[in-house]
């Protein structure tokens, strides 16, 4: 079995909607509202890359859309359903289509990925520590495991970002280890990346855990 370096097809954009949040395909029309969501103090967003002005916001969205056109990601605007306000963004990243030997039981068409990453997630200060992020993750994980039927969902964060690491663990993801000197960080450092994952066999328990959190 091998892993395709790039997705062979572009994943069709979808709207994912719950009680508290709507995830809608990110477009340049979201730029002003996304910039407003990013207008808090820089330490609000930890070590996450967040645009700081109009030009950076447009470039941020253009980069995301370019990755989508190449089949590598599926970016969303995160909308608070109670207000209709854009409060951040998230995306599916590193969409993988695995190549299996002919006739293998795991073989599938090119319309469904085998593995994805959820990342590039940030929220406005007043949307953090609310049901919005929990439900957004539930919606994305449900789509990944129940519509695409992926085998694995990965979640990555800067190893220094203790708050992000704790939030990922609260989802029910397993810690896989640290990738040393993995990529540039938003602050200009060479970052170590803490890697986490959820496997398809673990999904029912993770789903129950998240649904319980949303009722508390």
Q: What is the pLDDT of residues 172-201, one digit of tens each?
A: 999 999 999 988 887 888 999 999 999 999
CA distances from 15 to 4, 8, 146, 175 (A): 26, 22, 15, 29
pLDDT tier, 42 (very low <50, low <70, confident <90, very high otherwise): confident
Which residues on neighbouring strands pair with residue 196, listed in sequence order? 155, 175
Q: What is the pLDDT of residues 76-134, one digit of tens each?
A: 999 999 999 999 999 999 999 988 888 787 777 667 899 999 999 999 999 998 999 99
Distance separating alpha carbons of residues 140 and 210, to the nearest angstrom? 12
3-state class (DSSP) for residue 25? strand
Contacts of 104-111 spanning 24+ positions with Cβ under 8 A: 104/1, 106/1, 106/151, 108/149, 110/8, 110/9, 111/9
Listed in sequence order, the residues at least 6 apart from 90 whose beta carbon sits closer than 8 Å to its beta carbon are: 23, 75, 76, 78, 118, 119, 120, 121, 122, 136, 140
CA distances from 85 to 51, 82, 155, 167 (A): 18, 8, 26, 23
Taking 80 as the threshold, does the pLDDT of residue 211 lie above it?
yes
Taking 70 as the threshold, does the pLDDT of residue 161 lie above it?
yes
Mean pLDDT of 138-151: 97
Record: fold of 2-215: Aminopeptidase (3.40.630)
Q: How many Å is the Cα radius of gyration of the chain?
A: 17
**Residue 9 pLDDT:** 65
- Give yes or no for a contact between 35 and 57, defined as CB atoms under 8 angstroms apart: yes
The predicted model scores a pTM of 0.91
Taking 80 as the threshold, does the pLDDT of residue 170 lie above it?
yes
């Amino acid at each position: 079995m091998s892993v395709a370096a790039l997705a062979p097809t572009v994943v069709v954009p979808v709207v994912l909607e719950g009680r508290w949040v709507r995830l809608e395909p990110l477009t340049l029309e979201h730029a002003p509202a996304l910039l407003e969501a990013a207008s808090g103090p820089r330490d609000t967003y930890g070590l996450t890359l967040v645009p700081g002005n109009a030009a950076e916001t447009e470039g941020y969205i253009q980069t995301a859309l370019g990755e989508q056109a190449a089949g590598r990601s599926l970016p969303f605007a995160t909308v608070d359903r109670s207000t209709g306000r854009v409060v951040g963004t998230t995306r599916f990243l590193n969409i993988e289509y695995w190549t299996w030997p002919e006739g293998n039981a795991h073989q599938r068409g090119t319309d469904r990925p085998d593995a994805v990453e959820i990342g590039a997630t940030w929220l406005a200060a007043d949307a953090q520590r609310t049901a919005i992020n929990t439900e957004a993750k539930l919606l994305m994980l449900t789509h990944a495991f129940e519509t695409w039927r992926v085998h694995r969902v990965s979640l990555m964060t800067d190893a220094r970002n203790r708050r992000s690491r704790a939030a990922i663990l609260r989802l029910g993801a397993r810690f896989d280890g640290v990738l040393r000197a993995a990529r540039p960080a938003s602050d200009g450092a060479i970052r170590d990346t803490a890697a986490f994952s959820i496997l398809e066999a673990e999904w029912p328990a993770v789903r129950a855990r998240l649904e319980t959190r949303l009722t508390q």
